[in-house]
A and B are shown apart, each in its own frame.
Chain A
Amino acid sequence: MHAKLTAAAPLSTTPSFYEAAQKIYPREVRGRFATKRRWTVVLLLGLFYSIAWISWDGQQMLLFDLPARKFHVFGLTLWPQDFVYLALLLIIAALSLFFITALAGRIFCGYACPQTVWTEVFLWIEQWTEGNRSQRQKLDQKPWTLEKILRKSSKQLLWLSLAFYTGLTFVGYFIPIRSIGAELVNLSLGPWAVFWILLYSLATYGNAGYLREQVCKYMCPYARFQSAMFDKDTLVISYDELRGEPRGARRRGAAPAKPQGDCIDCTLCVQVCPTGIDIRKGLQYECIACAACIDACDDVMDKLGASRGLIRYTTEHAMAGKQTRLVRPRLFVYGALLTLATGVIAYSLLTRTPLILDVIRDRNALYREVRGDWVENAYSIKVINEDDKAHHYRLQAQGIAQLELVVPTGVIDVAPGSVANVPVRLQAPAANAHGVHPISLRISAQDAPNIVRTEKTRFIGPQS
């Protein structure tokens, strides 16, 4: 009984999930994959910082103009009513991520995730101001000398400037960036713009400067569920245990006294790891597949005169000596869904009519007798002009012989992005209008014949 109790006791305590975070000093790394990442970082950040300043038809090319409630996307103007496109776009982004993850593992994490990209740049700044890994470690332990103050403060200055410019650019995708720039110079920026800029600057500074790998380990939902997309044919970074073990130091040229693997236990793969894991312990969810350990290990293997690839991109099947299947059902499913979503968004954007017509029949009265032997039905129509210029619209009704349309307001003029509620009456001779008749209302822009919408409604006349 007693033994059972002591065994049960640890279960009832909440275990400490979180070890104290140790500061990681990633060692700088050179090699094939580091070069690729450097170029990806330059390309992605270049796009991020420059696209905001590019104009298209006198408009910012990519601007989700929240103050004006309209989105400019490569010459196209979208309104809140077009929210479905944004939702579709997000679905496409998610499906692409699933597809790429199933195929190539966490390529996104290692090369393209904003967290990785900005952390990389912040690390460059850190290396530039504080030196390499061991210099940084020593600097942190040193007392505050003038040199330390200078190095630390220049790092902070560069970090803060970059973070601020990043926040500014980010907000510039939601508030016209040129106006932000001008207002910043005049110090006339609105309080909420300042709030969002500072919030995103702070997020960049904190995430890329301090939280770093902890964002991937503790905050990123994708890191937790990406394994659901993995299978035995997914590209992962793996240590070749068969080849590497038993590990241990060895002298060049000297024949080892006992059987020895290729791993010399130099721990460089651990030192370069931005999340501080040991890849030799197998695939771990902290691994963001940045391939820094591959570069480091390849370098060591080159020096030893051994073949590269003790740590390499491979698949679980390949590791087990089996064939890697590139084409597999999972990829077809993700691929098909992706194609479908892309097709839907492309088709609907290409055939999009920047006009919406809603017709609501007035339910207060079935019909009204007018002009002696004529009957009248009342409707209220809603015209939404989704174009980026004003239009003058023409309304036509069809469905009953001698049907007449009365628009009390005379004309239907709608400003860009606006909604007009227009009361409308339809009149027909009672003799032609017994019972219920389907009616179609057609609205067209007078200056643009391709902007046309047709909606169906009903006309109710007296029982015969």
Chain B
Amino acid sequence: MATPALEGNRSDRQFWMDVGMVLWSSFLAAGVGAIVFFAAVDPLLLRDAGPQRFENLSREAGYALGFLFFWALAASAAALSVYMVRSVGRSDDRAATQREIR
């Protein structure tokens, strides 16, 4: 009987390849996002509008934090996509089970 995609048949290497793909594709997306966003918005303006405890942040820090924020956002979307695509295998297994019963 077929093993569900997420539990059995998946090697460690495949898992790490997925992680790599997620981080890499979201890195590219975050790069584009950060460039477009910071072309329009100066991080110092954001800092001045924000809470006082951030008042010493530099522009460089703003760019870096902004980039990391975009990266995390894009990575969560990519990770969710990979999870959804991979877990579709389960419903195929159910279909096979159904056929077996019939």
Contacts and interface: CB of A to CB of B under 8 A. Distances in A.
Given A11-B92, A218-B17, 17 more contacts: A8-B96, A9-B2, A9-B96, A12-B2, A12-B93, A12-B95, A13-B9, A14-B9, A14-B86, A16-B11, A67-B60, A69-B42, A80-B39, A83-B40, A192-B58, A192-B60, A192-B63
Interface of A: 4-5, 8-14, 16-18, 20, 66-67, 69, 80, 83, 86, 175, 190, 192-193, 195-196, 218-219, 221
Contacts of A20: 13
Nearest to B11: A16
Interface residues of B, number: 34
A51 B39 CA distance: 24
Contact of B5 (A5, A13, A190, A193): A13
Interface string B45-77: 000000000000011110110000000000000
Contacts of A83: 36, 39-40
A86 B39 contact: yes
B interface majority secondary structure: helix
A257 to B, nearest CB: 46
Contact of A17 (B14, B39, B89, B95): B14
B2 A10 contact: yes
Contact of A190 (B3, B38, B58): B58
Contacts of A11: 92
B14 A219 contact: no
Contacts of A5: 96, 99-100
B24 interface: yes
A190 B86 CA distance: 43
A190 B93 contact: no
17 contacts: A4-B99, A8-B96, A9-B1, A9-B2, A12-B89, A12-B96, A13-B5, A14-B86, A16-B14, A17-B17, A69-B42, A80-B38, A83-B39, A86-B39, A193-B60, A196-B64, A221-B28
A193 B40 CA distance: 22
Interface centre among A5, A14, A80, A190 (most CB of B within 10 A): A14
Contacts of B38: 80
Contacts of B40: 80, 83
Nearest to A2: B100
A11 B61 CA distance: 49
B50 to A, nearest CB: 18
Nearest to A17: B14
Nearest to A221: B28
Contacts of A14: 5, 9-10, 86, 89
A171 B70 CA distance: 20
A219 B60 contact: no
A66 B63 contact: yes
A interface majority secondary structure: helix
A14 to B, nearest CB: 4
Contacts of B99: 4-5, 8
A196 B42 CA distance: 19
Contacts of A175: 60
Nearest to A4: B99
Given A8-B99, A16-B14, A18-B14, A218 B2 contact: no
Nearest to A192: B60
A18 B61 CA distance: 38
B96 A16 contact: no
A219 B9 CA distance: 23
Query: Which 6 pairs, one residue from A and one from B, show the smallest C-beta to C-beta distance?
Result: A192-B60, A83-B39, A14-B5, A12-B92, A12-B2, A9-B2
A190 B13 CA distance: 38
B59 A69 contact: yes
A66 B2 contact: no
B60 A190 contact: yes
Contacts of B13: 18, 20
A163 to B, nearest CB: 18
Contacts of A10: 2
A175 B20 CA distance: 29
Nearest to A215: B24
Contacts of A4: 99
Contacts of B59: 66-67, 69
Given A18-B17, A80-B42, A13 B64 contact: no
Contacts of A67: 58-60
Given A86-B39, A218-B20, A219-B24, A195 B64 contact: yes
Contacts of A195: 64
B59 to A, nearest CB: 5
Nearest to B9: A13
A12 B1 CA distance: 9
A192 B61 contact: yes
Contacts of B5: 13-14
A364 to B, nearest CB: 25
Nearest to B59: A67
A45 B40 CA distance: 32
